[in-house]
Amino acid sequence: MGLFGGILGGIIGSIFAGPWGAAIGAGIGCMVNEGKKPAQSPLLPLFRALAKIAKADGVVSQEEAALVSELIKNFGKDDPDLRKALKAEFDQAKASDISFADEAKLLAQLPVDARREVLEIFCTLARIDNYVDEREKQLLYQAEKIFRLPGFVDQFFNGSRQQTHAPGPGGDDLAGHYRTLGISPSATDEEVKKAWKKKSLEFHPDRLAGKGLSEAFIELAEAEMKKINLAYDAIMKSRKK
């Protein structure tokens, strides 16, 4: 997918830098340690729910399919069986009578931070093709109610994505800023700057021009660009104290 896939990967990497990514990592670790099969993975209800959102308007768009593909690669990095299982669940759920509400109820058992991340994934999928169908939005509102996160969906679509996460100590999640740039707190100033430049190149608006990406997709990339700049500024400021 070239640049398209690279930007998707960056957005997904940013989304999963928080508690949800940690929760999934722990879940997969337990599966391996206990010898569980991919069919028992807690990720399956997530992908079945994603299928219902993607197909809610009658067709899975190219952008939606690409996002789901990147999610599968992200979650099943070193586990081909898990990747195969996730793809199969998504493909089968598109045409099945599986209830979106039932899948959402399974995901509602996650901690509140994880539920926020899941609902953000849902909203991102609905918006990725630059058109949010009313049927898609009704599913989002349904998930919002089941997850007990009132106002989340409207806040997301009104451009307040960053405000959906609880701030860190003192309102400054420095650890989160390091995760945004993909580096550790022990990185040198030069390494911080290098990571910032690399991330900036991936999301710079000039690189997106003429690539045929939807406006909604470009908006997502631009939001990540702002997050990258915020992370760099916060890290460098903290080092001057």
* Confidence band, pLDDT 50/70/90 cuts, at residue 48: very high
Domain that holds residue 179: 170-238
Which has the closest alpha carbon to 99: 61, 142, 37, 39?
142
**pLDDT band with cut points at 50, 70 and 90 for residue 134:** very high
Same domain, 158 and 188: no
- Among 41-45, 135-139, 205-209, the least confident range: 205-209
**What is the rounded CA–CA span in Å between residue 52 and residue 206?**
34
Residue 132 CA to residue 123 CA, distance in Å, equals 9
Q: What is the pLDDT of residue 199?
A: 82
Whether residue 143 is found in the same domain as residue 225 = no
Element (H, E) at 185: none
Given a cut of 60, whether residue 6 has pLDDT beyond it is no
Among 18-22, 39-43, 68-72, 103-107, the range scoring the smallest mean pLDDT is: 18-22
Q: In this structure, are 156 and 123 located in the same domain?
A: yes
Q: Is the pLDDT of residue 179 over 60?
A: yes
pTM score: 0.60
Instruction: Give the domain-ending residue among 109, 135, 164.
Output: 164
pLDDT exceeds cutoff 80 at 209: no
The answer on pLDDT for 224 being more than 90 is no
Q: Are residues 35 and 136 in the same domain?
A: yes
The percentage of residues in the chain with a pLDDT greater than 90, rounded to a whole number, is 26
| Domain C-terminal end among 164, 195, 221 | 164
Q: How many structural domains are present in the chain? A: 2
Structure tokens at 8: 């998707």
156 and 87 both lie in a single domain: yes
Residue 148 and residue 193 in one domain: no
